A and B are shown apart, each in its own frame.
Chain A
Amino acid sequence: SAVISQKPSRDICQRGTSLTIQCQVDSQVTMMFWYRQQPGQSLTLIATANQGSEATYESGFVIDKFPISRPNLTFSTLTVSNMSPEDSSIYLCSTRGGSFADTQYFGPGTRLTVL
């Protein structure tokens, strides 16, 4: 299994500012994923980040708002830019593991509150 850590675990930010969330995996992985979980809702995929290529964004998410870096096979960052209260969510980092890369593992999440 993959062990994923995220920093910060939570933050309270002012509108108009940006926050960068870090995700560290304990092993080298090809694919990393970023999800958003808005209050009381399910998970929505923001983007897929493969090392050595541009992140692929899902419908409704754009690079200017959620720039992603993937400098190596164990690390990724997600930036939430020009934040508004609507960005208040839990942001989760995820990767695939298991014998056939058929299991998805999640980090503990970053709880973001925008005032």
Chain B
Amino acid sequence: AQSVTQLGSHVSVSEGALVLLRCNYSSSVPPYLFWYVQYPNQGLQLLLKYTTGATLVKGINGFEAEFKKSETSFHLTKPSAHMSDAAEYFCAVIRYMRFGAGTRLTVKP
């Protein structure tokens, strides 16, 4: 069965610190991997995606993620957190319509 696991339901970082949100997947075929962000009381916004090609993908707002097939991972990173990054982040394997449980990012001043 295909699944998505996000390690850590809540991550807290200081403003300016590195953001690392972890996502692991299981898939019997090459996956389409996505990260979405959901701000309070809003819908889902696509941050970035990996389908084929370059394994390091860059998204909006300075986020990037690297597809590592050997580790079945697609971790999301941002070098320097900003207060406006506080939100819920979801990793998804779209080919199988599966979402991770979500990680709530808190940014401390």
Q: Which residues of A contact B (CB under 8 A)?
A: 33, 41-45, 48, 92, 96, 100, 102-109, 111
Option from A44, A48, A92, A96 in Cβ contact (under 8 Å) with B44: A92
User: Are A106 and B97 in touch, CB under 8 angstroms?
Assistant: no
User: Are B49 and A102 in touch, CB under 8 angstroms?
Assistant: yes
Q: Could you count the A-B residue pairs with CB atoms below 8 Å apart for me: how many are there?
A: 41
Option from A44, A104, A108 in Cβ contact (under 8 Å) with B34: A104
User: Are B90 and A92 in touch, CB under 8 angstroms?
Assistant: no
User: Are A106 and B94 in touch, CB under 8 angstroms?
Assistant: no
User: Are B51 and A42 in touch, CB under 8 angstroms?
Assistant: no
Q: Which of B11-19, B62-70, B99-107 is found at the contact surface with chain A?
A: B99-107
Cα–Cα distance between A50 and B12 once the two chains are bound (Å):
41
Cα–Cα distance between A109 and B32 once the two chains are bound (Å):
23
**DSSP class of A's interface residues: helix, strand, loop or mixed?**
strand
Option from A48, A102, A104, A106 in Cβ contact (under 8 Å) with B43: A106
B83 to chain A, nearest CB (A): 22
Per-residue CB contact flags for chain B residues 71-93 toward chain A (1 = under 8 Å, else 0) read 00000000000000000001010
User: Are A92 and B94 in touch, CB under 8 angstroms?
Assistant: no
Cα–Cα distance between A104 and B34 once the two chains are bound (Å):
9
User: Are B94 and A104 in touch, CB under 8 angstroms?
Assistant: yes
Cα–Cα distance between A106 and B44 once the two chains are bound (Å):
6
